[in-house]
């Protein structure tokens, strides 16, 4: 390295020399798959940088060394899932563990050059330049793990349904064209009968549920296939896997129900019972087998499903991802910005050069976007608002805007215990009409004109 490069590196490393450290007992950890590099202040140990392997015994040895160095707070980057065991060990030892976004570390000026990542993290944290990432309470993290595993099982079961439908299509069994869902009661009964050896279309059509709109003759006509052995083999294996995943989903439901009982109750559903579900809100086909709506109402103190577009599955996703303590976000604007639903315009020279939102990957935000999309045919105030935004801005921007509004409603309900009351589509249309009239009156006044109402005669 040339003298110029050395002096430049030295200048970067000493760029904080004029600042007073805020966290004197701070350590930085560079997390990896097989090993972790740890840095402490130079006056705490003769060798301030140590390497530890990722085995459990080594993690406890690292915690012992940090306590011997009088470390109170530790910072690490959120690298994959490798940080989770280390986070739990250090937190159990009573240390304040901060998880930071790697992007925020790289964007800081004076980027390290010839020092290790762990030393750079320790230096930044000692001067209080790093923000802690959000991590919900431990009981919410447990609930989140159960729900994410359940989502994986539901996704795998959906793949099996697709494989079954493909095998039946290749056999020219057009059952999917006459019933809406082959994984329903009628579809599964017919598939099990086919795998049991039944080939008579009329006999198979007798398994039709009375709620199916298609007639027995239409179903029998769709069940005339070629019954190839290799495709029946694929159908059988897909069906077996589907039943296995359904059993695993039931196991997840039992775990979720048992874990929800450990949460503190904010309301008593017996003394303050839930209102009847809104008309038009049907139970999701993948909803848990127990009364999840009542459990979420008990632990949160409010019923998020009263908001149009949010069903019980969306409510459980939001609560499991953000938790119940909304005081972590000072205002609803901070909350919606954390979700990546607030505008994040690029401004140069006072002009907006790019409009959009932050590129945030968040399951709660995705659930709110899906809830906003379901407002397309909702005969409510939120539904009317979404349709107006969609006509003016287009579907993508309207979905984000309505998800932003839903996020603000969720924040108010969870933070202050407010209950959502829909005032109806007619109320929204009338309010929008008054706002538009005030705007037109203001424009007319600026042009020295006056609006004159005209009565239309039929």
**Those residues with Cβ within 8 angstroms of residue 52's Cβ, 6 or more apart along the chain or in another chain:** 35, 36, 38, 58, 59, 61, 62
Contact 387, 376 (CB under 8 A): yes
Per residue in 149-206, pLDDT (tens digit) is 999 999 999 999 999 999 999 999 999 889 888 988 999 999 999 999 999 999 999 9
**Those residues with Cβ within 8 angstroms of residue 123's Cβ, 6 or more apart along the chain or in another chain:** 16, 28, 112, 115
Per residue in 61-88, pLDDT (tens digit) is 999 999 999 999 999 988 888 999 999 9
- Burial bucket for residue 132 (CB in 10 Å: 0-12, 13-18, 19+): middle
Residues of the chain scoring pLDDT < 70:
1-18, 107-115, 279-285, 457-458
Residue 347's SS3 state is strand
Pick the CATH number of 3-126 from 3.30.420, 3.30.870, 1.10.3470, 3.30.2010: 3.30.420
How far apart CA 418 and CA 306 sit, in angstroms, is 11
Q: Work out the angle at residue 180's Cα, subtended by the Cα atoms of residues 178 and 183, and round it to the nearest 5 degrees.
A: 110
pLDDT of residue 452: 82
pLDDT of residue 7: 43
How far apart CA 367 and CA 385 sit, in angstroms, is 19
Helix, strand, coil shares, percent, the chain, to 5: 55, 5, 40
Q: Work out the angle at residue 65's Cα, subtended by the Cα atoms of residues 63 and 66, and round it to the nearest 5 degrees.
A: 65
Of the candidates 288, 324, 286, 308, the one whose C-alpha atom is nearest the C-alpha of residue 416 is 324
pLDDT of residue 297: 92
Residue 418 is encoded by which pair of tokens? 């407010």
What is the distance in angstroms between the CA of the first residue and the CA of the last residue of the chain?
Answer: 89
Per residue in 333-372, pLDDT (tens digit) is 999 999 999 888 777 777 877 777 888 888 999 999 999 9
Name the helix (H) or strand (E) containing 185.
helix 185-195
Q: DSSP secondary-structure letter at 61?
A: H
Residue with token string 């000692």: 126
Residue 358 is encoded by which pair of tokens? 């932050």
Pair type for strands 96-100 and 49-53: unpaired
Name the helix (H) or strand (E) containing 287.
none
CB atoms within 10 A of CB 264: 8
**Domain residue spans of the chain:** 3-126, 139-260, 300-426
Residue 131: alpha-carbon gap to chain centroid? 21
CB atoms within 10 A of CB 417: 12
How far apart CA 75 and CA 31 sit, in angstroms, is 10
How far apart CA 422 and CA 380 sit, in angstroms, is 7
pLDDT of residue 1: 42
How far apart CA 206 and CA 88 sit, in angstroms, is 57
Domain over 139-260 is classified CATH 3.40.50: no
pLDDT of residue 66: 94
pLDDT of residue 440: 87
């Amino acid at each position: 390295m040339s003298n110029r490069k050395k002096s430049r590196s030295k200048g970067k490393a000493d760029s904080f020399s004029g600042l007073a450290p805020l966290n004197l007992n701070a350590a930085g950890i560079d997390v990896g798959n097989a090993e972790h590099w740890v840095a402490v202040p130079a006056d705490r140990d003769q060798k301030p940088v140590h390497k530890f392997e990722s085995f459990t015994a080594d993690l406890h040895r690292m915690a012992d060394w940090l306590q011997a160095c009088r470390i109170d707070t530790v910072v690490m980057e959120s690298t994959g899932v490798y940080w989770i065991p280390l986070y739990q060990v250090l937190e159990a030892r009573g240390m304040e563990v901060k998880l930071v976004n790697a992007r925020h570390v790289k964007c800081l000026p004076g980027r390290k050059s010839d020092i290790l990542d762990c030393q750079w993290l320790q230096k930044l944290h000692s001067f209080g330049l790093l923000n802690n990432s959000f991590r919900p309470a431990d009981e919410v993290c447990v609930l989140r793990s159960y729900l994410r595993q359940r989502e994986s099982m539901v996704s795998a079961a959906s793949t099996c349904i697709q494989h079954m439908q493909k095998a039946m299509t290749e056999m020219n069994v057009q059952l999917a064209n006459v019933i809406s869902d082959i994984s329903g009661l009628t579809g599964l009964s017919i598939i099990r009968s086919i795998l049991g050896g039944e080939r008579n279309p009329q006999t198979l059509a007798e398994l039709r549920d009375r709620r199916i709109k298609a007639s027995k003759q239409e179903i029998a006509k769709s069940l005339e296939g070629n019954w190839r052995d290799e495709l029946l083999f694929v159908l059988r294996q897909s069906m077996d896997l589907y039943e296995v995943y359904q059993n695993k989903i039931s196991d997840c439901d039992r775990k979720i129900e048992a874990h929800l009982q450990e949460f503190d109750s904010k309301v008593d559903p017996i003394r303050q019972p839930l209102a009847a579900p809104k008309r038009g809100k049907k139970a999701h086909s993948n909803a848990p087998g127990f009364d999840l709506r009542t459990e979420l109402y008990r632990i949160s103190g409010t019923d998020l499903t009263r908001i149009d577009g949010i069903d019980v599955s969306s409510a459980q996703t939001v609560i499991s991802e953000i938790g119940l303590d909304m005081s972590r976000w000072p205002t609803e604007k901070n909350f919606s910005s954390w979700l990546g639903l607030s505008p994040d315009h690029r401004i140069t020279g006072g002009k907006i050069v790019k409009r959009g939102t932050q590129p945030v990957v968040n399951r709660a935000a995705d659930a709110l976007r899906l809830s906003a999309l379901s407002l397309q045919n909702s005969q409510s105030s939120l539904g009317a608002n979404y349709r107006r935004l969609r006509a003016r801005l287009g579907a993508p921007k309207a979905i984000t805007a309505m998800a932003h509004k839903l996020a603000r409603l969720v924040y108010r309900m969870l933070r202050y215990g407010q209950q959502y009351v829909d005032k109806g589509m007619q109320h929204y249309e009338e309010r929008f009409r008054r706002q538009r009239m005030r705007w037109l009156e203001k424009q007319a006044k600026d042009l020295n004109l006056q609006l004159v109402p005209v009565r239309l005669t039929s």
